[in-house]
Amino acid sequence: MATTPALEVRDLQESFGGVPVLRWVSPSPFPGQVTGLAGENGAGKSALMKMATGQLRQDGGAVLIDAEVVSHPDPLQEAGRCGCSSGTSAISGPDGL
Domain holding 50, by residue range, is: 7-31+40-81
Q: What pTM value is reported for the model?
A: 0.65
Q: Are 5 and 65 in contact (CB under 8 A)?
A: no
Tell me how far apart the alpha carbons of residues 2 and 5 are, in angstroms, rounded to a whole number. 7
CATH number at residue 51: 3.40.50.300
pLDDT, tens digit, 9 for 90 and up, residues 23-70:
887 877 777 888 788 888 888 888 888 877 777 778 888 888 778 887
- 31, HSE (Cβ side, Cα atoms, 13 Å): 11
Q: Considering only residues 81 and 42, tell me which one the structure prediction assigns the higher pLDDT.
A: 42
Tell me how far apart the alpha carbons of residues 74 and 68 are, in angstroms, rounded to a whole number. 14
Is 74 part of any domain?
Answer: yes
Is 22 part of any domain?
Answer: yes
Residue 2 has pLDDT above 60, yes or no: yes
Identify the pLDDT of residue 94: 65
Q: Are 26 and 54 in contact (CB under 8 A)?
A: no
